Amino acid sequence: MLKLFIRRVALTVPTFVALMFVTFVAVRLVPGDPIEARTGERGIAPERLAALRHDLGLDQPVWKQFLDYVNGLAHGDFGVSIVTKTPVLHEFATLFPATLELSICALLFAVILGIPAGVIAAVKRGGIIDHSVMTVALAGYSMPIFWWGLLLIMFMSEYLGLTPVSGRMDLINYYFEPVTGFMLIDSLLSGQEGAFGAAVAHLILPSIVLGTIPLAVIARMTRSSMLEVLSEDYVRTARAKGLSPLRVVGLHALRNALIPVVTVIGLQTGTLLAGAVLTETIFAWPGVGKWLIESISRRDYPALQGGIMLISGVVILVNLIVDVLYVAINPRIRHGG
Amino acid sequence: MPVFNAKVALAAAMLTVLAAPAYAAKTLVYCSEGSPENFTPALNTTGTSFDAARPVYNQLVEFERGTTKVVPALAESWTVSDDGKEITFKLRKGVKFHSGVNGFTPTREFNADDVLFSFNRQWKEDNPYHKVTGGAYDYFNDMGMPDLLKSIDKVDDYTVKFTLNEPNAPMLANLAMDFGTIMSAEYADYLLKKGTPEQYDQIPVGTGPFQFVAYQKDAVIRYKAFPDYFGGKAALDNLVYAITPDATARYAKLKKGECHVMMAPNPADIQAMKADSTINLLSQPGLNIAYLALNNEKPPFDKKEVRQAFNMAIDKAAIIKDVYQGAGQAAINPIPPTIWSYNTSIKDYPYDPEKAKAMLKDAGVSDPLEIDLWWMPVQRPYNPNAKRIAEMMQSDLAKVGINAKLVSYEWGEYRKRMQEGEHTTGQLGWTGDNGDPDNFFFLLGCPAARKGGQNLAKWCNKDFDALINKARTISDIDERTKLYEQAQVIFKEEAPWFTIAHSVVYEPTRTEVVDYKVSPFGRHEFYGVDLK
């Protein structure tokens, strides 16, 4: 177990180095220049352009910039945003709670609906329910996030008037300072009546939109894994013993069927964070996804680099945890590890 | 447990929708499109950042809301010396700075020191704040202030004298721009002593109608009315900017009453907004122009007749109808009709492909003529779809024997290459900054025709240049108007541009919003606005 853990951790080091290099180069391959992007349409004199570029160190050879960057990272310095002049790490830290809160809610939504849907589809294999679940899952998986989000806003917010359109809070009626950065907690801490409800209401639509793809994946995975387990001998034995179908499926089969599902849930972290970029933009959700989009349009190299590194770091970390967790709940892996 | 949570959530959601608490305070929510870079206009170049700083600050002189007219603000009056080189401002007395923001309590009222500090920060390298927050003062430099200013002196606490190296008529309009914002010298000292000068640009303290409360990046900016504002307390108690980047979401929020004013609607939504009884769709011709520059340095565009023929070969009305869809009007002159000195007697070239063909033949242009036609890769307020315009032009031009190849680059690259003069013809445009005609005419002046300059037609006409140079040094508006009208005659005759359109700016507001005015500069201003 320990050996496996160390090996996995060791593997992440070269991954990070490669990531560092690729993001650094890729960010610079994006056409456009941060100075030009910043000064908008105004034509500025070539001398001033050169001076600005010098101030930002962009006149240095690329390899030198890279070494400086690596050196900074080694000291925990992710650079300073060209646009806002604040440290990238600080910006990330203030925005990440919003993304985390949304991602957790989206994942909860996906798990709570996805696992039962998969189980039912497996049990009723080949029937109408099975076909409907799989069709809906496929539709959910292939739905463009942007379109799905706008569709929900139109129907749920505008037509039915059930949910707020966007943002994290009702700005007209409530005001409080962020404490933890998690709106659900901060709204409770504020002590303002109704604030928590408003925070929950604002979370519903973006969570559904962001959770749709993971929901589809989890449902499909649960179904196929469940089908496999249901054909195992011990399930047949349990049935033969005369246990109720609910106990057979719920107690015996599900426990084992969920093992691969855990891995899939872990893999969905990447999907969630990638989806957050679009979801946050549609719902004006002030998280890292929206921040990245803005950094791209402003060619804010340090913010872009740092943001991608930090988000990738989170994905790698979560996958590492899932790997270890997987071994912990599935004893069969241990011998091979 | 999770199922229980979901139930609670749904119930709570219903409750908030049904029973939003009643508040007596008047809170106006403005759905803006992006986060400000900081709150110091002198450091910024984007409208988003200017809009965010505007509630907090004042300038010496300001544009009357909804117009391009310059009116007194922190300066009560001013006098210009006979040679036009000295402008003396009498400052308003009894103007208070915001109190309690970031732990700062002002000990004195606004005076000449604040004016000096605000300009010296941008101008003088030895100002302690010159390098703070990156220290790039693009507007101050690009407006040519370092060359124009000889000195700024404090005559007494309430008198400031600007001395110029040469007379400059647009100077007052320039000072009304956002880079002319007056900030607190005392607050600057306070933060310097605390060792946190960078907070100066993040937590603003000003003299404006609204006091800064809080800013959460990408989410919300909050202001509250400043009770001691010299113009009288604002009718609104709270002002909130809800940062909402997606135009469709902004519109949805407006419809639901989650915001009261939104910026930049989707052109596709305009019809629906007109039909919506809860929405007031305000509109005004924008202070802008979209044009196709014909590169005079590249034959055959060095010939006037060719440029004129080009102007007759393209169906402008079709472009306005198809691309602007009612949100634009055909441009005739190089300046929009909302600006003073617009020459109403100028006639546009008619759409006449036959005559264009004949003129090209007379000019000795070999048939077919191969040119490239550059289109901008981005949407701008003055040009919603450059590619579509280019395609329409391409098909019109083909009819008179001109083969246009469509070319585009990434936006920064596009502008750079065009300023270098690599194109034969190319689309671009301009949005006015200060309501002075010079702010448009310089785009056609000889100095800007240099490689890298902003005269994209690379057209240098001595007569035209002499007129606009002379106009710049005169302060009498009537005299300047005459000169600019003559310049427009030369422009139309010489036809260095195919003028495309002036877009119409739309601003949807909810019907309960009272006295909101659309700014010709595309600004968003909330002092003087009320809620029913």
List, for residues B159-189, the tens digit of each pLDDT value.
999 999 999 888 999 999 999 999 999 999 9
- Between B21, B255, B416, which is nearest A173 by CB? B21
Distance of alpha carbon A285 from alpha carbon A282, whole angstroms:
8
Dihedral pair phi/psi, residue B507, rounded to 5°: -135, 105
- Between A37, A94, A158, which is nearest B252 by CB? A158
**Which are the contacts of B91, defined by CB distance < 8 A and separation ≥ 6?**
B60, B74, B75, B76, B110, B111, B112, B115, B157, B158, B159, B160
Per the CB < 8 Å rule, is A194 touching B20?
Answer: yes
Among the ranges given (A247-261, B109-123, B269-283), the one the predictor scored with the smallest mean pLDDT: A247-261
* Three-state secondary-structure class, residue B438: helix
Per the CB < 8 Å rule, is B218 touching A294?
Answer: yes
Crossing angle for the helix pair A254-282 and A288-297, to the nearest 10 degrees: 40
Give yes or no for B531 touching A (CB within 8 A): no
pLDDT at A106: 96
Q: What residues of chain A lie within 8 A of the CB of B3, using their CB?
A: 112
- pLDDT confidence band for B105 (50 / 70 / 90): very high
What is the distance in angstroms between the CA of the first residue and the CA of the last residue of chain B? 45
Give yes or no for A93 touching B (CB within 8 A): no
- Between A31, A55, A157, which is nearest B252 by CB? A157
Residue pLDDT, tens place only, B428-463: 999 888 889 999 999 999 988 988 888 999 999 999
Letter string b/e over residues B385-419, b meaning 16 or more CB atoms within 10 A of that residue's CB: bbeebbbbbbebbeebbbebeebbbebbebbbebb
Residue pLDDT, tens place only, B341-360: 999 999 999 999 999 999 99
Alpha helices (H) in A180-253, listed in sequence order: 183-190, 195-230, 233-240, 245-247
Nearest CA among B473, B471, B470 for reference residue B481: B471
- pLDDT confidence band for B223 (50 / 70 / 90): very high
**Which are the contacts of B15, defined by CB distance < 8 A and separation ≥ 6?**
A194, A197
Q: How many CB pairs under 8 A join A and B?
A: 176
CATH fold for domain A94-333: MetI-like fold (1.10.3720)
Give mean pLDDT, residues B308-316. Answer: 95
> Beta strands B159-164 and B149-156: pairing type?
antiparallel
Provide the shortest C-alpha distance from residue B244 to chain A (in Å): 5
- pLDDT confidence band for B290 (50 / 70 / 90): very high
User: In Å, what is the CA distance from A255 to each residue of A235, A250, A276, A327, B194?
Assistant: 12, 8, 31, 15, 60
> Beta strands B58-59 and B181-182: pairing type?
antiparallel
**Which are the contacts of B124, defined by CB distance < 8 A and separation ≥ 6?**
B130
User: In Å, what is the CA distance from B459 to each residue of A227, B220, B312?
Assistant: 76, 46, 19
Q: What residues of chain B lie within 8 A of the CB of A283, using their CB?
A: 249
Q: What residues of chain B lie within 8 A of the CB of A91, using their CB?
A: 217
Per the CB < 8 Å rule, is A112 touching B27?
Answer: no
Nearest CA among B491, B483, B481 for reference residue B466: B483
Query: pLDDT averaged over chain B?
Result: 91
State how far Cα B357 lies from the chain centre: 39
Distance of alpha carbon B345 from alpha carbon B487, whole angstroms:
13
A 229-268 residues with CB < 8 A to B: none
B 485-524 residues with CB < 8 A to A: none
Residue B74 near residue B60 (C-beta atoms within 8 A)? yes
Letter string b/e over residues A92-103, b meaning 16 or more CB atoms within 10 A of that residue's CB: bebbbbbbbbbb
Give mean pLDDT, residues B273-300. Answer: 93
Per the CB < 8 Å rule, is B219 touching A284?
Answer: yes
Testing the interface with A: which of B17, B29, B39 to mutate, by most A Cβ within 10 A?
B17
Q: What residues of chain A lie within 8 A of the CB of B451, using their CB?
A: none
Q: What residues of chain B lie within 8 A of the CB of A290, using their CB?
A: 218, 245
B 191-250 residues with CB < 8 A to A: 198, 213-214, 216-220, 222, 240, 242-246, 248-249
Query: pLDDT averaged over chain A?
Result: 86
Testing the interface with A: which of B44, B246, B382 to mutate, by most A Cβ within 10 A?
B246
Residue of A nearest to B34 (CA): A294
Give mean pLDDT, residues B185-209. Answer: 96
Give yes or no for A95 touching B (CB within 8 A): yes
Q: What residues of chain A lie within 8 A of the CB of B453, using their CB?
A: 43
Amino acid (1-letter code) at residue B15 = L
- pLDDT confidence band for A333 (50 / 70 / 90): low
Q: Where are the domains of chain A?
A: 7-75, 94-333
Q: Is the pLDDT of residue A317 over 70?
A: yes
- Between A95, A172, A177, which is nearest B29 by CB? A172
Residue pLDDT, tens place only, B481-532: 999 999 999 999 999 999 999 998 889 999 999 999 999 888 999 999 999 9
Distance of alpha carbon A209 from alpha carbon A281, whole angstroms:
12
Provide the shortest C-alpha distance from residue A153 to chain B (in Å): 8
Residue pLDDT, tens place only, B258-282: 999 998 888 788 889 999 999 999 9
Give yes or no for B34 touching A (CB within 8 A): yes
Per the CB < 8 Å rule, is B9 touching A200?
Answer: yes
Residue pLDDT, tens place only, A257-292: 888 888 888 888 888 888 998 999 899 999 998 888
A 274-313 residues with CB < 8 A to B: 281-284, 286-287, 290-291, 293-294
> What are all long-range contacts of A274-278, with beta carbons under 8 Å and residues at least 24 apart?
A275/A106, A275/A145, A275/A209, A275/A210, A275/A213, A276/A99, A276/A102, A276/A103, A276/A210, A278/A145, A278/A146, A278/A149
Task: Please tell me which residue, B365 or B39, carries the higher pLDDT value.
Answer: B39
Among the ranges given (B9-18, B278-287, B323-332), the one the predictor scored with the smallest mean pLDDT: B9-18
Residue of A nearest to B428 (CA): A41
pLDDT at A199: 95
- pLDDT confidence band for A301 (50 / 70 / 90): confident
Structure token digits, residue B168:
């400059």
Provide the shortest C-alpha distance from residue A316 to chain B (in Å): 26
Structure token digits, residue A187:
């709204």
Per the CB < 8 Å rule, is B9 touching A84?
Answer: no
A 23-62 residues with CB < 8 A to B: 31-33, 36-46, 48, 52, 55
Q: Classify the phi-psi angles of B439: left when phi > 0, otherwise alpha if psi is within -120 to 50, otherwise beta.
A: alpha
- Between B13, B34, B35, which is nearest A200 by CB? B13
Among the ranges given (A145-149, A326-330, B475-479), the one the predictor scored with the smallest mean pLDDT: A326-330
pLDDT at A325: 78
Among the ranges given (A241-255, B213-227, B261-275, B359-373), the one the predictor scored with the smallest mean pLDDT: A241-255
Per the CB < 8 Å rule, is B138 touching A165?
Answer: no
Give yes or no for A200 touching B (CB within 8 A): yes
Q: What residues of chain A lie within 8 A of the CB of B139, using their CB?
A: 42
If one counts every other C-beta atom within 10 angstroms of the C-beta of residue A148, the result is: 20
Give mean pLDDT, residues B288-304. Answer: 94
The helix or strand, by DSSP H or E, that contains position B358, with its residue range, turns out to be: helix B353-362
- pLDDT confidence band for B156 (50 / 70 / 90): very high
Q: Is the pLDDT of residue B379 over 50?
A: yes
ipTM entry: 0.85
Per the CB < 8 Å rule, is A162 touching B255?
Answer: no
Per the CB < 8 Å rule, is A282 touching B15?
Answer: no
- Between B45, B133, B216, which is nearest A178 by CB? B216
Give mean pLDDT, residues B195-211. Answer: 95
A 121-180 residues with CB < 8 A to B: 150, 153-154, 157-158, 161-173, 175, 177-178
Per the CB < 8 Å rule, is B13 touching A284?
Answer: no
**Which are the contacts of B353, defined by CB distance < 8 A and separation ≥ 6?**
B312, B313, B396, B399, B400
Provide the shortest C-alpha distance from residue A79 to chain B (in Å): 14
- Between A32, A44, A165, which is nearest B249 by CB? A165
Beta bridge partners of B374: B407, B426
Structure token digits, residue B465:
């240049």
> Beta strands B27-32 and B238-243: pairing type?
parallel
Give the highest mean pLDDT range of B47-51, B231-235, B382-386, B434-438: B231-235
Per the CB < 8 Å rule, is B452 touching A32?
Answer: no
Per the CB < 8 Å rule, is B218 touching A287?
Answer: yes
